Amino acid sequence: MTRKHVRPKVVAGMIAMGILAVLAAAPLAASPLKIGDAAPNWSGLNGVDDKQHSLSDYEKAKLVVVVFTCNHCPVAMAYEDRLIALQKEYGPKGVQFVAINPNSPKKQPQDSFEKMKERASSKGFNFPYLVDATQDVAKQYGATCTPHIFVLDKDRKVAYMGAIDDNMNASKVKEPFLRNALDALLQGEKPPKAVTKQFGCGIKWE
């Protein structure tokens, strides 16, 4: 009965609102970046040094390597020593690594801010380790797992994304994707592989 009285204008309005709602929601979904896209900015992320960090802090760096990582994940842990070694080797060449933990400590208590401090200290991280408390940075980058890597070039455009290399076990690596990408980019060339498949533990979303 009542359905007959619904006016076409009202129906059209409802449809329009529905479309708007979908459009508004879209940017919240993990929107994968493409190579060459401007890197999403961030500011005010707390680091394990109790300071706030922004992407612009590293404006002197030729390349910024954004590493979405965490404490608890066995894959992320397997790569910690490799990240430390890479920062040590590539730091003098103008490469800055930045680790960002996007995991919800409610979902994974091992990834709390306090535990991040412990981990950074015990491993001797030689790069900033930041917490993405709102998970917005991870969403903007389209990060899906830890570790998940994004290399930003001097214009802070995405130049490489994916995995660090091709095996969780360092002794079995055949192709060091990230190293190859950094070497190429530092020489002003394109990475031999600009996109590889990320591999790790799923990000623990709220």
Q: Per-residue contact track with other proteins, 70 to 99, x per CB under 8 A? A: ----xx------------------------
Cα–Cα dist 62/112, whole Å: 31
User: What minimum distance in Å lies between the beta carbon of 76 and other proteins?
Assistant: 11
- Of 5-13, 19-27, 84-92, 160-168: span binding other proteins (CB under 8 A): 160-168
Which one, 3 or 172, has the nearer CB to other proteins? Answer: 172
User: What minimum distance in Å lies between the beta carbon of 57 and other proteins?
Assistant: 28
Residue 97: how many CB atoms within 10 A of its CB? 26
Looking at 8-146, list the stretches that DSSP marks H as alpha helix, in order from N- to C-terminal side: 8-25, 74-90, 113-123, 136-141
In the block, tokens 């397997």 appear at 78
DSSP character at residue 163: -
47 binds other proteins (CB under 8 A): no
Taking a C-beta distance cutoff of 8 angstroms, is the pair 131, 113 a contact? yes
Cα–Cα dist 154/143, whole Å: 21
User: What minimum distance in Å lies between the beta carbon of 91 and other proteins?
Assistant: 24
200 binds other proteins (CB under 8 A): yes
Of 26, 24, 56, 52, nearest to 39 by C-alpha is: 56
Helix or strand holding residue 129 (H, E): strand 129-131
Structure tokens at 19: 């479309």
Q: Of these, 45, 63, 163, 185, which contacts other proteins (CB under 8 A)?
A: 163
Q: Of these, 53, 148, 151, 153, which contacts other proteins (CB under 8 A)?
A: 148
Cα–Cα dist 55/179, whole Å: 21
User: Hey, which residues between 164 and 183 contact other proteins (CB under 8 A)?
Assistant: 165-169, 172, 177
Which one, 2 or 169, has the nearer CB to other proteins? Answer: 169
Which one, 36 or 202, has the nearer CB to other proteins? Answer: 202
Residues contributing to the site for other proteins (CB under 8 A): 74-75, 144-145, 148, 162-163, 165-169, 172, 177, 196-202, 204-205
